Structure 1
Amino acid sequence: MGENVLGSSRQNQWRVSAQVIDMRRPEQPVRAVKLGTRDRSVIFDLQSTAIIVVDMQNDFCHPDGWLGHIGVDVTPARAPIAPLQALLPALRAAEVPVIWLNWGNRADKLNLSPALLHVYNPYGTGVGLGDPLPVSGAPVLQAGSWAAEVVDELMPNDTDIRVNKYRMSGFHDSELDSILRNLNVTTLLFAGVNVDQCVLCTLQEANFRGYDCLLLEDCSATTSPDYCRDATLYNVQQCFGFVVNAAELQQQLESNI
């Protein structure tokens, strides 16, 4: 009998046979990238990097989605679409995992507390989590619905990874951390909306868990007032990671592929 591989990720596998269990992970060559931040430069290894794209889905970014229904101008939330269209193919070509982190609640809402439901439907009379949208009829932020799907302009690739989240932090009560550890990821690139809410909460928790965090400023946006974005960028650079530029990253990726 020959040797067999156990493990869903090439970065985290055992090799086993009837005689031996080999737990050594294969060594990967370092692929260094250097980007400017707001005060210095940062160097990281593409080999242990993934990008997390947060909430670029219809309910937040489409005029007929949830935010549009309640009167929010979703134009700012669509700002990351073009830079992500340019960056993601270069990341895929460099074999950097692309993770789509979207709100995707259970249809029965059994994972959602009354306190969480109240945030989005404070009087119980509006269109809240799981309620049908007036235009499409899609249930708000429900897994498998049009409302929770990535916008058409950013159609995920077959090799991309999808993770549902149920809070502003994508780590709470989800499989995100297990997936990242299986991929042997230590550095996370963050993009998406809203940068001052779900992106920030996920980035903060990643920092708390020991990941190195890089916020792609030109691939992140918010429908909140400008001061919310400004404060977020300041606090990320000051406390939780570094603020970098996707266009600079894309240039380096394309020059090295």
Structure 2
Amino acid sequence: MSDVDVKELDRLLQQAFDTASKLYQERGFQRRVGFGKRPALISVDLANAWTRPGNPFTCDQEKMDNEIIPGMQKLLKAFRAAQLPVVHVTTAYEITDRNADFTDMGLWHNKIPIDVVNLKDTDLWAIDSRIAPIDGEYTLLKKRASAFHGTELAGILRANNVDTILVTGVTACACVRQTICDGLADGFRTIAVKEAIGDRVPGAVAWNLFDIDAKFGDVETVDTCVSYLDSLAAQKIAAE
């Protein structure tokens, strides 16, 4: 799509959101879940197959390079300063033969080309080097859209007294959204970090963030989240 087309799509979406917001608010939607006392950062699929060009899963490169990665860098700096949990989530499969009698891909390969993300090709599912994990941060390998589905994530978060998850990554319409929905269902305060969420399809981010904010979590800016994290770090220093 051209820049003109994208701008027109954004205009039409905003018009639809304004109308829908009136209906939602009249019916008691768009409530605030709020920040809790101990957050974790859940970064979904910001691995090379999604963040770099040349892959079927590659997301909007302009947004990735100019918004998502810089936003993640700000968040990581704040989380690390506050010594709070960070989980980097990625996706890969061990048996990628679509004709195999048994595979860890389930049936998802019948819809999307997950067979290209082979566990043996470590560079594909490695977290982007610009936001690479450091010692003390956890990398979680998932097989499904949600970072919670069939993984140890909820247990790890509860064991570390986490009550809030700040979710970033790709894609807004699938893995990020499913992670947020499952996070709320599992009892965590869910925050979608606006500038640090992307997709491949124009309009998908805006629509999904609007819908998430109405039903499943709070959409907050990177700056708002960083201010919240900085306040937690200051409280910790004061307590010491």
Decide: shared fold, TM above 0.5: yes
> Would you say the 8 A contact 1:60–1:74 is kept in 2?
no
**Residue 229 (str. 1) matches residue 205 (str. 2):** yes
The 1-side partners of 2:121 and 2:134 are apart by 17
**Residue 75 (str. 1) matches residue 70 (str. 2):** no
Per-residue CA deviations over 1:55-94 (Å, capped at 9, x if unaligned) read 10110111133435xxx65333443101111221111111
Q: Which one-letter code corresponds to 1:111 in the other structure?
A: D
**Residue 116 (str. 1) matches residue 70 (str. 2):** no
Deviation at 1:54, TM superposition (A): 0.5
Q: Secondary structure at the match of 1:50?
A: strand
**Mean Cα displacement is larger for which, 246-255 or 158-167?**
246-255
Per-residue CA deviations over 1:197-233 (Å, capped at 9, x if unaligned) read 110011011112221101110111112121x222211
> Would you say the 8 A contact 1:66–1:147 is kept in 2?
no
**Residue 84 (str. 1) matches residue 84 (str. 2):** no
The 1-side partners of 2:120 and 2:169 are apart by 18
Q: Which one-letter code corresponds to 2:72 in the other structure?
A: L
The 1-side partners of 2:209 and 2:171 are apart by 12
The 1-side partners of 2:125 and 2:200 are apart by 18
User: Is there any run of 5+ residues in structure 2 with no aligned partner, and where?
Assistant: 1-29, 98-102, 235-240
Alignment-derived partner of residue 129 in structure 1: 114
> Would you say the 8 A contact 1:103–1:143 is kept in 2?
no
Q: Secondary structure at the match of 1:223?
A: coil
Alignment-derived partner of residue 205 in structure 1: 182
**Residue 185 (str. 1) matches residue 176 (str. 2):** no
Per-residue CA deviations over 1:11-38 (Å, capped at 9, x if unaligned) read xxxxxxxxxxxxxxxxxxxxxxxxxxxx
* C-alpha spacing 1:209/1:108, structure 2 compared with 1 (3 Å): same
Q: Secondary structure at the match of 1:105?
A: coil
Q: Which one-letter code corresponds to 2:210 in the other structure?
A: Y
Give the share of equivalent positions with the same residue, in percent.
Answer: 25
The 2-side partners of 1:190 and 1:164 are apart by 16
> Would you say the 8 A contact 1:77–1:222 is kept in 2?
no
**Residue 62 (str. 1) matches residue 69 (str. 2):** no
Alignment-derived partner of residue 104 in structure 1: 92
Structure (1 or 2) with the greater helix fraction: 2
Alignment-derived partner of residue 226 in structure 2: 250
> Would you say the 8 A contact 1:67–1:74 is kept in 2?
no
How many residues matched? 198
Q: Secondary structure at the match of 2:194?
A: strand
The 1-side partners of 2:74 and 2:147 are apart by 24
Q: Which one-letter code corresponds to 2:133 in the other structure?
A: P
Deviation at 1:101, TM superposition (A): 1.0
Deviation at 1:98, TM superposition (A): 0.7
> Would you say the 8 A contact 1:143–1:164 is kept in 2?
no
Deviation at 1:195, TM superposition (A): 1.5
Alignment-derived partner of residue 15 in structure 1: none
RMSD: 2.3
